[in-house]
Chain A
Amino acid sequence: MGRWLAGRVLQALLTLAIATAAIFWLMRAAPGDPLARLAGERQVSAEEVAALRARYGLDRPVSAQFAAFLEGAVRGDLGVSISHHRPVGDLIAERLPASLLLGGTVLLVNFTVGLLLGMRQALRRGRAADTALGMLSLAGYAMPSFWVGLLLAWLVGVEWRLLPAAGMRDPLLPLDAGALERARDVAAHLVLPALTLVIVSIAAPMRHQRAALLEALAQPFVRTARAKGLAARTVVWRHAWRPALFPILTLFGLWLPLFVTGSVFVESVFAWPGIGALAAEAVSARDYPLLMGTALLAAVGVVTGTLVADVAYALLDPRVGET
């Protein structure tokens, strides 16, 4: 198990290194360079552009730039944002909590409510409840997230005035407001963006859980448990549920990045101050260091998610670690 784990971690680091190289290469491969655009927009002299190029290290050979980028990334130094004139690492650290809150809420709902709905579908296979839940979740998946967000912000936020439709905190909240009142304020702002993301993404856990449970229910040991006369509830929860958990673990690992990156579209629509909105801002400002920083954070999220899922898999299924 120890050796297997070490190998797995090494593989994850290799993947991350390739992803880092890919980010760097993508930025280089993209036509144009950020400073040329800057020079075109404002009255900047050639000397000033040259000075800026030197400041951002763009005058050095590509290999040296990559080495510097890699070295900085390992130390947690992601360069300086062109539009904010501040270290990318600081900006990401400021925005991370909002994305953690939004992504965490969505993951929690999807992997509780979503799984329960998927189980219900499997147990009612082919009946009206199964079909209706399947169609509803597909319709949710098929809607553009930003569109759902705009509709909810309009209906719930503006027309019915039930919940705040933008931001994370009420700027008019008195300065002496207590912790409870502040928490309630953030929670009210959280509802619409979280609901939007759940609507467009709950289909995946539902479908996976439905398929996994159907497969587990067809296994011989489930038939044995039934034949022993165990109650249907016991059969599902004690016997069929555990093997049905494995595909869900992989899915959870795939989704973990949502936790750190939030959503580019939904965060933009609701002005939720997370990493996704930061990436969207970086795009419109053509702020490459900032965009690369958020992409790198996303890659770390993906690699960690896969690793966590694999380790959890190995802990639950001892056969994995043995070979």
Chain B
Amino acid sequence: MRCSTRAWARRETAGGAAVRRRLGGVWRRPGGRIGLVLLSAVAAAVLLGPLVLPDPLAQPDILGGANLPPSAAHPFGTDPLSRDVLARVVAGGRVSLLVAGLAVLLASTLGTLVGLVAGYAGGRVDAVLMRLVDGVLALPRIFVVLLLLAAWERVPLAALVLVIGATGWLAPSRLVRAEVLRLRSADFVRAAEALGCGPGRVIFRHLLPNVLGPLVVATTLAVGDVILLEAGLSFLGLGIQPPTPSWGGMILEAKDVMVTAPWSSLFPGLAVMLTVVAANLLGDALQHDDAQA
């Protein structure tokens, strides 16, 4: 018999109304409001900025135009190669946010799948998967990432996304597993099973929508962590490769002129800080909202 639970498997997470309610809850908290405004400002800047700013790769005048202090023509000054620092911060943000977004999406998807399977299957599958997670978690993420990325002379962008994504699924998998363990004996899951729903349907139609709340919080917070990680990797020369601008890479390129031209490393660092603060404020507000719902 085909299981049919559609009539009462109504979830609060589905639909535009829930998203609006959720955003409303975040907006009512001062931290959430600041986070949303900051993040929207960063998004608008990296999306629209390149339309009006100079070419971030152009080196107009290496001899006379390098390391100029901030002015009307160059609001953030110029770097050692006479490139406009503002244009590079904006272009670097585009790349950094793209890498962070894709990597976090990959990590959350992988983690959710493992967590759902481990939590729902239980028993031996769960034990093996969680031992594996423990073992890999015992390696600090930075060392795993370094071991993997050191293989390339120039790290391709796709490899960076894959490596950061593939090393970030452990924490979400634990979170999802814990949620599934909590929900596994809930009435709506029991009922679905009693009506003959297979494991696939129970997992994706009934369990998945109910773990999305905490997962969204963890994902938002992870974006901040990944931006910091990517900046660090680019600073070590293992992240986004020059001449493509990135926040960490700009700091690396400008560190030798820190004393004479501090602006070329000051502004990319501030951009990282602003974005990570915004992601954390938003994540915290979502979490409080989640706890109250």
Contacts and interface: CB of A to CB of B under 8 A. Distances in A.
A246 interface: no
A56 interface: no
Contacts of A286: 150
Nearest to A305: B138
A284 B138 contact: no
Nearest to A31: B151
Interface stretch (A47-55, A94-102, A141-149, A314-322): A141-149
A268 to B, nearest CB: 7
Contacts of A21: 135
B213 interface: no
B251 A146 contact: yes
Interface stretch (A108-116, A177-185, A220-228, A288-296): A288-296
Contacts of A309: none
Interface stretch (B81-89, B113-121, B196-204, B268-276): B268-276
Contacts of B235: 144, 146, 265
A228 B17 CA distance: 49
B140 A32 contact: no
B78 interface: no
B137 to A, nearest CB: 8
Nearest to B153: A37
A283 B150 CA distance: 6
Interface in A114-147: 138-139, 141-147
Interface string B255-293: 100110010011001001111110011000000000000
B144 interface: yes
B37 interface: no
Interface stretch (A22-30, A60-68, A232-240): A22-30
A265 B232 contact: yes
A22 B139 contact: yes
B276 A141 contact: yes
A159 B260 CA distance: 11
A37 B151 CA distance: 9
A178 B43 CA distance: 57
A147 to B, nearest CB: 4
A283 B149 CA distance: 9
B146 A291 contact: yes
B258 A150 contact: yes
A286 B237 CA distance: 12
A279 B145 CA distance: 12
A257 B140 contact: yes
Contacts of A23: 139, 147
A19 B133 CA distance: 10
Interface in B218-256: 224, 228, 231-232, 235-238, 247-248, 251, 255
8 contacts: A16-B135, A16-B138, A19-B135, A23-B147, A141-B276, A147-B269, A268-B236, A292-B147
Given A14-B131, A283-B238, 17 more contacts: A15-B138, A18-B131, A18-B138, A142-B224, A143-B276, A144-B231, A147-B269, A147-B272, A158-B258, A158-B259, A265-B232, A284-B237, A295-B140, A295-B144, A298-B139, A302-B138, A302-B139
> Nearest 4 pairs between A and B by C-beta?
A18-B135, A142-B276, A30-B151, A147-B269
